[in-house]
Structure 1
Amino acid sequence: MTDNPTSIVDAEQWPDPVCHYGIEDGTPVVETVNEAFETTFGPVDAGEPVASLFETVGLSIVQGPDEPAVVGTAADQFTVETGTQPSESGAASHDRYLLRVVPTDGNAGGVLLFTPVPTGIARAADEIGLDHVASVISHDLRNPLDVAKARLRAARETGEVEHFEHVADAHDRMERIVGDVLTLARGADVVQPDGRVDISAAAERAWATVETDDADIVVEKSLPTVVADPDRLGRLFENLFRNSIEHGGTDVTVTVGPLADAPGFYVADDGRGIPPGRRERVFAPGFSTDDHGTGLGLSIVARIADHHGWSVAATDSASGGARFEITGLDTG
C-alpha cells in the first residue's frame, strides 16, 4: 500500500460511495464513481464538474462550507443529505453522509468518500446539534483518558506493572462510554432493563469510576433492587455524581437514598444547589451554567430515565444543595 490517498481507496472494493476526481483547467471534475455511488445516488458522467455533482444527484450540504465549488480544491469534511419525496405519513425521509475530501499530493485530484451517518445519530444531531454530539463524547471521555495518562506516566516513572491494569480499565471504560453515547442516540430499544440491579451497589461502582477529588459519598443501605439496564443505570449515577462535583465543589458530599413516598431514589449534594427557575431547564440538551460544560450530562440522565419508563426531577436538598429524584421504578 502506498501513501497516495487515492491509491488507498479501491473504488470497487470500498463498500460506501466513492467518487474519484481530477483537475482540468483548474476545475475539479468527476473521473469515476464506484457501484455503491451509483446505487446510492444514481449515475453521473465522467468530466462533470464536482461543483454541479451535488445538484445532479440531489445532495445538499447540512454542515460545512456553503459553496459546493470548494469541494475538491482542498482537504475538507462535510455533512451532506439526500432528500426523497414525502412518504404516506407526509414526512420526507433523508439520508445523511459524512463526506470527506481527500486530495492527492499537489492537489492534482483526489477522492470523495461518503460514509453513511446512522439514523439515530442524525436524529440526535438534529435535536441537540452536531457540536454537542461530539462534545458529549469528549466530556465523558475526559476522566478515563486522564486516568490512563496518569497511570502510564506512573508506570514509566516507577516501573510498577500494576499501573497497566488501571490503564486497561480506563480504556475499557472509554469504549463503553462511546458505545453508550451511540446506542442512546439510536433510541429506547437499546436500553435493556431485563435484570434486577442493586441500586446501592450500582451507585458505589459508579462512584469508583468518577474523578472525585475530595468529595465524599454516603450510600444508604435501605435502597431497593430495581429492574434496570445495569450499564445505563451506572451512566446515570456517573453523570449525576459528576454534576455534583462540577457544580457543588470538589469537597462536596453526595448522598444516595430511597424516596419515602414513592418507588424511587434520590441523589443529593450539599453544594450550592439549582435556582428554582432553572430546575426544568437543566435537562435540556445544551443547557449549562458552566462556560466549560457541554450541557449534556443531565440530558443523558433524563434520556436514560425515560428509556426505562422512569421520571427524573430536580429540587433542593435538605442542606440547600441539588437533589435529583428518580421515580416510577419497577421494584417488584
Structure 2
Amino acid sequence: MTANESWSLPMERYPDPACSYAFEDDRAVVQASNEQFGRISGLSAGDPLADGFGEELPVLGDQPSFDRSGRCWVRDPDHRERRYLVRIIAPENDQPGHLVFNAVDQERESQNVGVDRVASVLSHDLRNPLDVARARLRAGRELESEEHFDHVEQAHDRMERIIQDVLTLARGEDVVNPEEVVDLDAVVRNAWQTVETNGATLDVVEDLPEATADRDRVTRLFENLFRNAVEHGPPETEEEHITISVGRLPDGLFVADDGVGIPPENRERVFEPGFSSDDHGTGLGLAIVARIVDLHGWSVRVTDSETGGARFEIVGLDPE
C-alpha cells in the first residue's frame, strides 16, 4: 500500500487509531486523524508528530521497536495489555502519508504466530538441521557408514521438534502434555547434545530435580536457553569460550552463563514473540521458552549471573 492508493474506509470510521501526515519545514505534521488517534497521542491537525511520538516514529514514552518489515509497535497508554502494530505509509508526490494502527491483544498475540514469523522459523531454524541432514546423507552414501544415517535421523527429529514449536505458540495446550515424571538432569544433558555449542562448556553444578512435565517440550526449552547463551555470548576466540551453568533452586532451577548479559530494559521484552537483539534472529527462541514454561504452570524470570552474564530462573516446578 502506498500513499497515493485510495483510503478504502473514512478515517473517522476506522476502528483503531489512524492519521494522515505531511512534511512541513522538514517536520512531519498531522493533517487529519480520528478520535482514537487523538486519545493515544494527544495530537490533532497541525501538531508535529514528534510532540506525541518523539523524533523517531513511533512509540509513546519508550524507544521505538521496529520489526524487520519497517513496521513498529506502540502500547496503548490507557490499556497497557493492548498494543498496536503500526504501518508507516510514507507521503508520495502530493499525497499525504498515513500512520495506520492495528490493535493486538497481548494475551491473544502470545498464543498466535503470524505468517511472517512462521516463515522466519521455516527459513532460519529449519535450515541448519536440513543442511546437516543433506551433508550426512551425502557422506553416508559415499562412505557407506551407518553413523551418518543416524545423524540424518536426528536432524529429521529436530525438524519435527521445530515444527512442534510453532504449534506450541499457535495452539498452546493442544501440543503440551505435562503428564510424565521427568528427570530434568537427563533432559538437560540430552538437550546439550543437540545444540551447536561452538566450544561452550556445560556445567551442571548439582543434581537437578524430577518434575511432572512434557519431556519433548522441556527438552526444547533447554535447547533454546543453551542456544541463546551460545549465540549471544562473547565473540569466540581461541582463549575464550562461554560456560553455561545449570543448578537447582528451592522450587526450580536456573540456567546461567558468563556472557554479556541482558540489559534490564530488555528482560521482559526478550520473551515477546518477534523481539530479538540479533538482526539475524527470529525472535521466537525465548518466546517459546516462556510459552512452554507458562503451559506447565511454572514461571521464568531473567536476572544477572554471578559473572555478569544472563541467568534464567525457572520456578514453581513443584519437584517430585
Overall identity of the aligned pairs, in %: 65
Structure with greater Cα Rg? 1
Letter in 2 for 1:188: E
**Count of matched residue positions in the alignment of Structure 1 and Structure 2:** 208
* Kept after mapping to 2: 8 A contact 1:232/1:304: yes
Match of 2:117 among 129, 132, 146: 132
SS in 1 for 2:178: coil
Match of 1:230 among 195, 215, 219: 215
For the structure 1 residues 329 and 173, does the alpha-carbon distance in structure 2 shift closer, same or farther, using more than 3 Å as the test? same
- 2:170 alignment counterpart: 185
If the length of structure 1 is used for normalisation, what is the TM-score? 0.59
- 2:188 alignment counterpart: 203
TM-superposed deviation, 1:264: 0.7
* 1:136-169 alpha-carbon deviations (Å, 9 max, x no partner): 3443323322321332243244332321111112
Letter in 2 for 1:254: I
Q: Cα RMSD over matched residues?
A: 2.0
- 2:243 alignment counterpart: 253
SS in 2 for 1:187: helix
- Flag as ranges the 4+ runs of structure 1 deviating above 4 A: 123-128
Q: Name the structure where helix makes up a greater proportion of residues.
A: 1
Letter in 2 for 1:277: E
Match of 2:274 among 283, 286, 290: 286
Matched, 1:168 2:156: no
SS in 2 for 1:248: coil
TM-superposed deviation, 1:127: 4.7
For the structure 1 residues 168 and 223, does the alpha-carbon distance in structure 2 shift closer, same or farther, using more than 3 Å as the test? same
* 1:58-100 alpha-carbon deviations (Å, 9 max, x no partner): xxxxxxxxxxxxxxxxxxxxxxxxxxxxxxxxxxxxxxxxxxx
* 1:94-147 alpha-carbon deviations (Å, 9 max, x no partner): xxxxxxxxxxxxxxxxxxxxxxxxxxxxx7699553211221344332332232
For the structure 1 residues 134 and 248, does the alpha-carbon distance in structure 2 shift closer, same or farther, using more than 3 Å as the test? same
* Kept after mapping to 2: 8 A contact 1:136/1:297: no
Letter in 1 for 2:199: D
Any unmatched runs of 5+ in structure 1? 1-122
- 1:320 alignment counterpart: 308
How do 1:211-230 and structure 2 match up within 5 A?
A: 211-230=196-215
Letter in 1 for 2:159: M
If the length of structure 2 is used for normalisation, what is the TM-score? 0.61
Letter in 2 for 1:207: W
* 1:250-294 alpha-carbon deviations (Å, 9 max, x no partner): 5311111112xx401111111111111111111111111111011
Structure 1 distance, partners of 2:128, 2:297, is: 29
Structure 1 distance, partners of 2:314, 2:291, is: 12
